[in-house]
Amino acid sequence: MRNKITVIGAGHVGETAAFNIAKLELGDVVLIDIIDGMPQGKALDMFEASPIFPFDANIKGTNDYADTAGSDVIVMTAGLPRKPGMSRDDLLFKNMAIVKECIGRVAKGSPDAILIVISNPLDAMVEVARRVSGFPKERVMGMAGILDSARMRAFIAMELGVSIENTHAFVLGGHGDSMVPLPRYSTVAGIPITHLLPQERIDAIVERTRKGGGEIVSLLKTGSAYYAPGIAAAQMADAILRDKHKILPCAAYLEGEYGLDGIYMGVPVQLGRKGIEKIIEIELTEEEKAALYKSADAVRGLFEKFPDDLK
């Protein structure tokens, strides 16, 4: 029996995630949105592409949550995108209501699913999803670190003029301006970038990584990034559904790890068929710990704004 993957939200991020999941042949895809005809049209277009690529996956567009029942993985992308001048935090209350509604409905029909949240502000929205669904922490996670690390890898490759395949980057913390890129753990063919670049160029890469999403928003003017977020979600679904036990940076619920408790933070985790199998703790310098705790404070500030029905 094939896996079933539901993608909530047929906007740019949702359609990109759905198409990449289908191309990876991870299972059959359900694309759901409140706009009549939009998910149906996009799903049909994707399916008509399958003989050309080719890939073998059924793709269904729908407005009915009954069609999502029995999903193995649910990717939550629905929400308002950022506009120029907006921070991810500005979206808190508007997207909180959307996530609460969508996850509340989809969780009823798929009580054993694994939730991957992309909606912003990410760390707060994944906590909303955990509370609303009632799912255990290992089955509720956020897509952030893969995207942030990919951006840092791209900037390293640009700076050094090397193959993107040679780069590796490490980003911890919340998915926002307080994220914590770690140059010591970021490498080119195994060589730390601290041995390859002067400090001022490393600092520039770190800052551009933190502002990576905002840079794209300012250029697009009418939307936000979707190619990289969509493929990042597909990579997470791939690690889970193929039980790869793959270590990836994701937003995970911490209970003492890294000295943090009761909070979602981007950290390296091991992903497999049951979701988050293990949280990997790495050694941090005092400066890196301070940056991580500062990021955690920013995320806690969002949690404290939750309405009473989510506390």
Q: What are the catalytic residues?
A: 175
Structural contact between residues 148 and 171, judged by C-beta atoms closer than 8 angstroms: yes
Tokens for 31, please give them: 């694309």
Spatial contact of 286 and 311, defined as CB atoms under 8 Å apart: no
Asked if 86 and 110 touch (Cβ cutoff 8 Å), the reply is no
179 within 8 A of 171, measured Cβ to Cβ:
yes
Among positive and negative, which fits the CA dihedral 200, 205, 211, 217?
positive
Distance CA 243, CA 241 (A): 5
Q: What angle do CA 129, 134, 139 make, to 5 degrees?
A: 70
Paired tokens of 51: 């003989």
Kindly report whether the peptide bond that precedes residue 51 is cis, defined as omega within 30 degrees of 0.
no
Cα(212)–Cα(142) distance, rounded to whole angstroms? 18
Quote the DSSP letter at residue 120: S
- Distance, in Å, from the CA atom of 281 to the CA atom of 264, rounded to the nearest integer, reads 15
CA-closest candidate to residue 118, choices 102, 105, 137: 102
**Comparing C-alpha atoms, which of 258, 283, 294 is closest to residue 184?**
283
- Alpha-helical runs (H) found in the chain: 12-23, 38-49, 92-109, 122-133, 145-160, 199-210, 212-220, 227-241, 286-303
Listing DSSP states for 152-189 in one string gives: HHHHHHHHHT--GGGEE--EEB-SSTT-EE-GGG-EET
